[in-house]
Amino acid sequence: MHVRYWAAAAAILSAVTALVAGHFLRSGEWAFGTRIVLSLAPVLPMSVYCVLAVRIIRTFDELQARIHLEGALFGLLGTALLTMASGLLVRGGVIPPFTLASAWPWLWIAAFLLWGIGTVTAAARYR
| pLDDT mean over 58-65 | 94
Q: Give residue-wise pLDDT tens across range 12-50.
A: 999 999 999 989 999 888 999 999 999 999 999 999 999
The number of angstroms, rounded, from the C-alpha of 27 to the middle of its chain's C-alpha atoms is 25
Q: Give residue-wise pLDDT tens across range 98-125.
A: 988 888 888 889 999 999 999 999 999 9
Q: Answer whether 46's CB lies under 8 Å from 8's CB.
A: no
| pTM score | 0.75
